[in-house]
Chains A and B, each alone.
Chain A
Amino acid sequence: MILYACALGLCLTAALVALLPARAVTVAAEVITALAGVVAAVAGARATLGHGWSAWLPDLLPLGGLRLALDPLGGLFTAITGAVTVCAAIHGIGSGAARATRAVIPLFVAALLLVPAADSVSTFLFGWELMAMTSLLLVAAEHRDRPSVGKAALWYAVMTHLGLVTIMCGLCYLAAGATGDGFDQLRAAELSPAARDVIFLATLAGFAAKAGIVPLHVWLPRAYPAAPGHVSPLMSGAMVNMGVYGVVRVGLDLLRGGPVWWWWIVLALGALSALYGVLHAAMATDLKRLLGYSSTENMGLVLIGVGAAGFFAADGAGPLAALALTAALLHVVNHAAFKTLLFQAAGSVQRATGTRDLDALGGLRTRMPYTTALFAVGALCASALPPGNGFVSEWLLLQSLIHALPASGVAGAVTMPLAVGAIALTAGLAVATFVKAFGVGFLARPRSPAAERAAESPRTAICGTALAAAACLLLALDPALVLPALTAAVTRVIPVGRPVTGEVTLRLSAITGSISPVLIALALAGAVAAVLSLVRAVATRRVRRPARLWDCGAGPVSARMEYTATSFAEPLQRVFVDALQPESAIDVTVVKESAYLVQRVRFRARVPDRVERLLYEPVLAAAVRLGSQARRLADGSVHRYLSYGFYALTGVLIVLAVIS
């Protein structure tokens, strides 16, 4: 409790300090924010280990007052937020951000700490709105420098506030059926099934929008590239988690689970997001856009786990549900770790080269060796391959889904194999995505003068990124470290025994299965060493002669001969052409004298977001049409406006007369 209050206080201090004019003090703001992150992480960890607390501050907010409580579930998300904040704040030292941006970041962190600790509807909505507003300010921070930022901020503002509206409707409806707006009272509320359905669906829509779940993901690939370098790790590592937190808190805790079809929807949304997100990540050429779509993918995987957990819980298979939820929460932790790392590395790259376009990057290995190595760690973890941390959580998730067959009925027998297929396809495409991001972005030769001039980021930025990388490696080798916290959070909503036990080897208690990440890593390292020594032994028996790189005799190898991100993704684009529907246009300009002499050929290709095209553009176009038609009502005539008022009043009076 004291620690948590300290963290909030430190955030406010940092915000105030950042506003002070002196230059040394602005570095202090980041240091204080990092300190707040440490304290918050400890506070969250303590809450997960059984030191929960609750507090009611009736005078801080009008009406309900500020009602806070940190239980293991909220503690887990607080700890994640704290850890991400530490990395992001250290990375942000000396980033040269505007003073206002520096002041808003600690407030954003405070809002992120407030949401999982909220214990009443009003506090939750207050924290949620504060989170939305501060993040919106941060997204829009660089709107003067880049024109695309303003548009991204508009998208984000609309999406996040529509989400807020649905959450508010859902939670207020829930509070109306209960004796008060405290979460304890909501848990005890007796509601009709139809009301519960409405509440769940409304809140799910809002939380899905925050988590970047398809089809509400459209803000995400826009907002991340728009946000300043050290803000996107906070948004991707900490903020999107709040969507998952909301679904778990409302669906599994406040509403105490629900019918199977709720969770079927969650699972389907998760699978759709995972596939759609990774497909677009595989096509993306903007590094941060790629990472944004990858967030959609990973949140989709998490929702598959949450959906499966609710599904099993509704089916009465408690241990399996606990396992699925553990996998989902572990993936939240893992995703926060590697996405923080990747976004920080991407921020460093953008700062060093001024571009995020993978087709213009390359050759950073020699110019930014530390950032390259750190990004490699993140890419390995994000592609869910064995020595990375993403592998462990996806393995747990797959185990819980595969072993569902005997437990669940026909619906499970149909759903679970499909979910397993979706996860498998997602994992495969994620590998291609991150091979592309790392190989094209960092290896080979620089493709532009900007990439050629890149210089390594300042030491603090490397430190912040390295911290996230260390967390990734720790989680990869010893996930048992966070197991007690996860178990506590899971048993908070699904009260069965420990779903996963063990120190070095993780053992699943509900089903027969075990995994030992350390031994896998050791075996892999041994295999790599054996292959390398074998190759060396065989190769040194022959005479070696240095020779030029074979360039078909055509001349020096240039960066134009390299794979680009677009060309690397082209085969995948062909395979998934029906799902992606890429667009290309060829403009041929001929010289004036003859139609047969070509002056210039311009080729443009893009992979549009089809959800945006099919779902959002018609709605936006209709809104614009409606607006321009409504403009006719206001033609500037005062008489007309006066008559509007008169007729409206008369109409209301007539309606009232008829009703009463």
Chain B
Amino acid sequence: MAEPPMERAKSQGMLELAGSVQIRHVDAGSCNGCEVEIASVFGPVYDAERYGARLVASPRHADALLVTGPVTRNMEMALRRTYEAVPEPRMVIALGDCARDCGVFAGAYGVVGAVGDVVPVDVEVTGCPPPPEAIIEALRGMTGR
């Protein structure tokens, strides 16, 4: 049984997504720790899809970008273009400490900055890596289910 719906965080300027969020994941330079957690979020144990969050294969199909890792130089342009490719209204989730503030990679020669330095961020999830529960909570905050 699913838990009762969470309060939708409208205070952050959240969009009305009618209980369904299509998500495109972008690895901007992650160590893949976050990816392991994302995999388990969408796996059978946590099953984020029952809350209306779904991973899609193209930014053209997406409502939101799920960005992990500090933004590396090689991925900066790709991230900008992916953001450009998402139809409006669009949201960005910065997942993990690296995405929020570059974490241990801050100041490294290949790092441009945090995700917020490249594209506007709407939701942040803390942790290195963030536990699945935290990711689920953030997603439920967006879907409102």
Chain A contacts to B: CB under 8 angstroms: 543, 545, 547-548, 550-551, 553-554
Q: How far is the CB of A406 from chain B (nearest CB, A)?
A: 55
Chain B residues with CB under 8 Å of A547's CB are 84-85
- In the assembled complex, B79 has its CB within 8 A of some CB on chain A: yes
Chain B residues with CB under 8 Å of A551's CB are 81
What would be 19 A-B contacts, judged by CB atoms less than 8 Å apart? A543-B88, A545-B87, A545-B88, A547-B84, A547-B85, A548-B81, A548-B84, A548-B85, A550-B58, A550-B59, A550-B60, A550-B85, A551-B81, A553-B77, A553-B78, A553-B79, A553-B81, A553-B82, A554-B78
Q: How far is the CB of A462 from chain B (nearest CB, A)?
A: 39
Q: Residues 79-113 of chain B: 1 if any A CB is under 8 Å from the residue's CB, otherwise 0?
A: 10110110110000000000000000000000000
Chain B residues with CB under 8 Å of A543's CB are 88
Q: Which of A543, A545, A550 has the most C-beta atoms of chain B within 10 angstroms of its own C-beta? A: A550
Question: Which single residue of chain A is at the shortest CB-CB distance from B82?
Answer: A553
User: What band does the interface of chain B fall in when counting residues whose beta carbon is under 8 Å from A?
Assistant: 10 to 19
Chain B contacts to A: CB under 8 angstroms: 58-60, 77-79, 81-82, 84-85, 87-88
Chain B residues with CB under 8 Å of A545's CB are 87-88
Question: Which single residue of chain B is at the shortest CB-CB distance from A553?
Answer: B78
A551 to B60, CA, bound (A): 11
Chain B residues with CB under 8 Å of A550's CB are 58-60, 85
Can you name 6 extra interface pairs (CB under 8 A) apart from A543-B88, A545-B87, A548-B81? A547-B84, A548-B84, A550-B60, A550-B85, A553-B77, A553-B81
Q: How far is the CB of A541 from chain B (nearest CB, A)?
A: 15
A545 to B85, CA, bound (A): 10
Q: How far is the CB of B88 from chain A (nearest CB, A)?
A: 6
Question: Which single residue of chain B is at the shortest CB-CB distance from A543?
Answer: B88
A548 to B84, CA, bound (A): 8
Ranked 8 nearest A-B pairs via Cβ:
A553-B78, A553-B81, A550-B85, A553-B82, A550-B60, A547-B84, A548-B84, A547-B85
Q: How far is the CB of A602 from chain B (nearest CB, A)?
A: 31
Q: How far is the CB of B61 from chain A (nearest CB, A)?
A: 10
A547 to B60, CA, bound (A): 11
A553 to B77, CA, bound (A): 7
Q: How far is the CB of A15 from chain B (nearest CB, A)?
A: 62
Question: Which single residue of chain A is at the shortest CB-CB distance from B81?
Answer: A553
Chain A residues with CB under 8 Å of B60's CB are 550
A548 to B79, CA, bound (A): 13
Chain A residues with CB under 8 Å of B82's CB are 553
Q: How far is the CB of B81 from chain A (nearest CB, A)?
A: 5
Q: How far is the CB of A552 from chain B (nearest CB, A)?
A: 8
A73 to B58, CA, bound (A): 61
A547 to B81, CA, bound (A): 9
Chain B residues with CB under 8 Å of A548's CB are 81, 84-85
A164 to B85, CA, bound (A): 65
Chain A residues with CB under 8 Å of B85's CB are 547-548, 550
A545 to B78, CA, bound (A): 20
A44 to B85, CA, bound (A): 62
A479 to B59, CA, bound (A): 50
Q: How far is the CB of A542 from chain B (nearest CB, A)?
A: 10
Q: How far is the CB of A547 from chain B (nearest CB, A)?
A: 6
A543 to B89, CA, bound (A): 11
Q: Which of B58, B59, B81 has the most C-beta atoms of chain A within 10 angstroms of its own C-beta? A: B81
Q: How far is the CB of B63 from chain A (nearest CB, A)?
A: 15
A424 to B79, CA, bound (A): 49
Q: How far is the CB of A553 from chain B (nearest CB, A)?
A: 3
A410 to B128, CA, bound (A): 79
A554 to B82, CA, bound (A): 10
A548 to B81, CA, bound (A): 8
A554 to B77, CA, bound (A): 9
Q: How far is the CB of B59 from chain A (nearest CB, A)?
A: 7
A551 to B82, CA, bound (A): 9
Chain A residues with CB under 8 Å of B79's CB are 553
A212 to B85, CA, bound (A): 52
Question: Which single residue of chain A is at the shortest CB-CB distance from B75?
Answer: A553
Question: Which single residue of chain B is at the shortest CB-CB distance from A549?
Answer: B85
Q: How far is the CB of A548 from chain B (nearest CB, A)?
A: 6
Chain A residues with CB under 8 Å of B58's CB are 550
A521 to B130, CA, bound (A): 62
Q: Which of A550, A551, A553, A554 has the most C-beta atoms of chain B within 10 angstroms of its own C-beta? A: A553
Question: Which single residue of chain A is at the shortest CB-CB distance from B26?
Answer: A553
Question: Which single residue of chain A is at the shortest CB-CB distance from B88?
Answer: A545
Question: Which single residue of chain A is at the shortest CB-CB distance from B79?
Answer: A553
Chain A residues with CB under 8 Å of B78's CB are 553-554
Q: How far is the CB of B89 from chain A (nearest CB, A)?
A: 10
A407 to B59, CA, bound (A): 61
Q: How far is the CB of B112 from chain A (nearest CB, A)?
A: 15
Q: How far is the CB of B67 from chain A (nearest CB, A)?
A: 12
Q: How far is the CB of A163 from chain B (nearest CB, A)?
A: 57
Q: How far is the CB of B76 from chain A (nearest CB, A)?
A: 10
Q: How far is the CB of B28 from chain A (nearest CB, A)?
A: 10
A462 to B85, CA, bound (A): 41
Chain A residues with CB under 8 Å of B87's CB are 545
Q: How far is the CB of A551 from chain B (nearest CB, A)?
A: 7
Question: Which single residue of chain B is at the shortest CB-CB distance from A554?
Answer: B78
Q: How far is the CB of A440 from chain B (nearest CB, A)?
A: 24
A231 to B35, CA, bound (A): 64
Chain A residues with CB under 8 Å of B77's CB are 553
Question: Which single residue of chain A is at the shortest CB-CB distance from B78?
Answer: A553
Q: Which of B58, B60, B84 has the most C-beta atoms of chain A within 10 angstroms of its own C-beta? A: B84
Q: How far is the CB of B145 from chain A (nearest CB, A)?
A: 25
A483 to B87, CA, bound (A): 56
Q: How far is the CB of B128 from chain A (nearest CB, A)?
A: 25
